[in-house]
Amino acid sequence: MRLPSFLTKLAGAGQAALAAGSLLLVAGCKLNFWRMDGHQTTMVTSGPVAESQLHVFYVTCWVTLIIFVIVGGVLAYATFKFKARTAADEHAEPPPQGHGNPLVEFSLIGASVLALVFIAVPTLKAIWFTYDVPEEQKENAYVINATGYQWWFKFDYPSEQIDGAGVLSTANELVIPAGRPVRVNLRTIDVIHSFWVPKLAGKVDMIPNRGNHLWLQADEPGYFWGQCAEYCGDSHAVMRFRVIALAEDEFNEWVAREKAPARSVTAAEASSSAKPAITFASFKRNEYGFTDKWNPGAEVSPLDHWRQQQFPEKDENAALIAEGRQLFQAKTCIACHTVRGHEGMGITGPDLTHIGSRTTIAAGLLENNAEQLARWIMHPLDVKPGNKMYTTGYEPNGITISTDEATALVAYLHSLK
């Protein structure tokens, strides 16, 4: 009885391999659990689109794992069973060769088709589901126009009109309503970029002269990391962004604040003479610009940190802020950046009307605190290779910024809440 014994041994080998594989997986998960829960993980999802994509991943993973175990088991069995054990075996005639067993061949074809169908059904369902907002939810969907620039993201809110200033526009931090589908129209101003918020939805390219779109939904309020996922030049790897999902009321409050023009701080409301305490540390080139409080398990959640950032600081120095506002013109920042209600009118760089209320600067690369902002405006090229603030602004115009000037500019920019 050759066949049953073969099958028993195969099953035994398969089980052993499965057990070993499971152990490895479990050990791997335990050791790297913090990675599975990282800012840009696709293994912990926060919305229906990412969830359906994770489901497809698991289905594919399990089917291929089973195939791997079976094929590996047969190979291992044959290798050990038929290996040459003695010198005589080396020169022995090969055992009788069999081929063309219809039962085996049809079973293998059938099993392959079945495995493909097993993967194809959920895959096709997920492709249809993730392509666009489901029909019954279309009317409820919130629309955002996202545009890729080398190397930052611009977000326009077509439903939020501002008198005499077009639509609400912001950069690098996309604020959306939670629990509601969001349709993101994807465009690019230059090369191909790719819009990706791993915990919310898979990546979709932003292609020149071609309209693309995706949809996503954050089930709960939260703070999510995004990343350009298509190589787009020098600073592709640091072309990041954030998505902040807020409950409907809080979202509406944010929209109202954001539609208002830039704050003008008067001497009457801010009489402090304190200067922002900036340590002008010497940062290494490309040094990381975030503190540990951004890591999972930190005391203040990133979303609460974002909330704290929304309102003006208590002791503002009106004179210093006015000086910074002057410098913002003198250093030609106004040529590229808009500060709605102030002098800035440029459109080639991010809109800075409410830059002070963002948690990040330099396209999600640095934390928006006094040190990092000073570092960014003084040494942009050391922070972000090839960035246009330096190559088309600072360099051709011979612009440099001293520590005193940086202090005033930081005070001004941080007053823009």
Residues that bind ligand CUA in the complex, under the rule CB under 6 A: 148, 151, 193, 228, 230-232, 236, 239
In the block, tokens 């002791």 appear at 315
Beta-carbon contacts of residue 346 (< 8 Å; ≥ 6 apart): 333, 334, 335, 336, 337, 338
- Least distance between ligand CUA and beta carbon 191 (Å): 7
**Smallest Cα–Cα separation from 12: which of 84, 81, 96, 106?**
81
Residues 6 or more apart whose Cβ sits within 8 Å of residue 79: none
Shortest approach of ligand CUA to residue 44 CB, angstroms? 24
Q: How far is the CB of 6 from ligand CUA (least distance, A)?
A: 53
The Cα–Cα gap between 200 and 182 comes to 11
Q: How far is the CB of 388 from ligand CUA (least distance, A)?
A: 13
Rounded to the nearest whole angstrom, what is the least distance from the CB of residue 168 to ligand CUA in the complex?
23
The two three-digit tokens of residue 6, written as one number = 């073969």
Extract the tokens encoding 98. 């069999």
Check if the beta carbon of residue 84 is closer than 8 Å to that of residue 90. Answer: yes
SS3 at position 395: helix
Indicate the burial class of 119 (C-beta count within 10 angstroms; 0-12, 13-18, 19 or more).
middle
Minimum Å gap between C-beta 320 and ligand CUA is: 35
Closest CA to 203 of 158, 246, 234, 241: 241
In angstroms, give the least distance from the CB of 225 to ligand CUA.
15
At closest approach, how far in Å is the CB of 409 from ligand CUA?
A: 27
Give the residue from 277, 269, 353 showing the smallest Cα distance to 319: 269
Taking the mean position of all CA atoms in its chain, how far away is CA 66? 32
**C-beta closer to ligand CUA: residue 356 or 385:** 385
* Bridge partners for 176 per DSSP: 245
Q: How far, in Å, are 6, 97, 174, 300, 353 from residue 305 at the CA level?
A: 62, 71, 16, 6, 20
Residue 360 Cβ vs ligand CUA, minimum distance, rounded to whole Å: 16
Return d(Cα 26, Cα 33) in angstroms, integer: 10
Question: Shortest distance, CB of residue 230 to ligand CUA, whole angstroms?
Answer: 5
Q: Which is nearer to ligand CUA, 189 or 274 (CB)?
A: 189
Q: Which residue type, as a one-letter code, is found at position 189?
A: I
Residue 239 or 336 having the CB closest to ligand CUA: 239
CA atoms of 359 and 366, how far apart (whole Å) = 9
- Token output for 45: 């999802």
Closest to ligand CUA by CB, 176 vs 232, is 232
Shortest separation between residue 148's beta carbon and ligand CUA, angstroms: 5
Query: Looking at beta carbons only, is 148 or 350 nearer to ligand CUA?
Result: 148
Pairing of strands 182-188, 212-216: antiparallel
Which CB, 39 or 236, lies closer to ligand CUA?
A: 236
201 vs 232 by CB, closer to ligand CUA: 232
CB-nearer residue toward ligand CUA: 177 or 364: 364
Q: Are strands 360-361 and 366-367 parallel, antiparallel or unpaired?
A: antiparallel
Q: Sheet containing 167-171: which strands, arranged edge to edge?
A: 167-171, 152-161, 142-149, 182-188, 212-216
Q: Which residue's CB is nearer to ligand CUA, number 232 or number 339?
A: 232
CA pair distance 1, 78, nearest whole angstrom: 17
